[in-house]
């Protein structure tokens, strides 16, 4: 592994972690805004709550599917030619792709709270799942030796 390659990866990783931090910081802001704007809410579980749950599960599946697929491709590209800028971009895309999916789950919790008039306990699973996935998909150095 040459020094230039390692420097490029570390630079890209720093940018990715900054983007990741913005996603993580946005989540408590969404929760705070919904708590300050909404009242107590109604604890009835309606069909629309189930629709939001289904959409959140679909977003979770999409995040796992696309991230795993892109990570596999990028690791193969890095294994073949670690100095290729295209392989570095593929790795960056693989790292980024899961973050919007996780944040989408949090936003479904915001919809449950603000639009559907749900309670905090009804939106909390969405918030927790989104935060869990954001932490699970924290950008890391590539695991393949170059």
Contact by Cβ (8 Å): 129, 136: no
Cα–Cα distance between 28 and 79 in angstroms, integer?
38
Q: What is the rounded end-to-end Cα distance, in angstroms, of the chain?
A: 5
Is residue 43 predicted with pLDDT exceeding 90?
no
Task: pLDDT band for 1, please (50, 70, 90 cuts).
Answer: low
Instruction: Select the more confidently predicted residue: 106 or 4.
Output: 106
| Residue 19: inside a domain | yes
Instruction: Select the more confidently predicted residue: 133 or 89.
Output: 133
| Residue 144: inside a domain | no
For residue 110 the two structure tokens come to 């915001």
Q: Look at residues 121, 111, 138 and name the one whose alpha carbon lies nearest to residue 56.
A: 111
Tally of domains within the chain: 1
For 65-86, give one letter per residue: b (16+ CB within 10 A) or e: eebeebbeebbebbeeebeeee
Contact by Cβ (8 Å): 20, 134: yes
| Residue 42: inside a domain | no
Q: What is the pTM of this model?
A: 0.85
Compute the mean pLDDT over every residue in the chain, rounded to the nearest whole number. Answer: 88
pLDDT score recorded for residue 146: 46
| Residue 41: inside a domain | no
| Residue 87: inside a domain | yes
pLDDT score recorded for residue 62: 95
Is residue 41 predicted with pLDDT exceeding 80?
no
| Residue 58: inside a domain | yes
Structural domain boundaries, residue 93: 3-35+47-136
Q: Tell me what the mean pLDDT of segment 122-126 comes to.
A: 94
Is residue 32 predicted with pLDDT exceeding 70?
yes
| Residue 40: inside a domain | no
Cα–Cα distance between 109 and 120 in angstroms, integer?
9
Is residue 81 predicted with pLDDT exceeding 80?
no
Compute the residue count for the chain. Answer: 146
| Residue 129: inside a domain | yes
């Amino acid at each position: 592994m040459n020094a230039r390659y390692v420097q490029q990866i570390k630079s890209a990783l720093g940018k990715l972690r900054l983007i990741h931090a913005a996603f993580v910081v946005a989540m408590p802001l969404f929760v705070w805004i919904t708590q300050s704007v909404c009242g107590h809410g109604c604890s009835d579980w309606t069909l629309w709550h189930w629709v939001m749950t289904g959409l959140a599960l679909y977003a979770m599946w999409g995040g796992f599917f696309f991230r795993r697929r892109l990570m596999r491709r990028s690791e193969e590209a890095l294994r073949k030619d670690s100095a290729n800028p295209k392989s570095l971009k593929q790795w960056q895309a693989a790292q980024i792709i899961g973050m919007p999916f996780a944040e989408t789950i949090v936003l479904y919790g915001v919809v449950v709270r603000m639009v559907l008039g749900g309670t905090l306990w009804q939106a909390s699973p969405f918030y927790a799942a989104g935060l869990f996935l954001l932490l699970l998909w924290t950008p890391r150095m590539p695991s393949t030796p170059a």
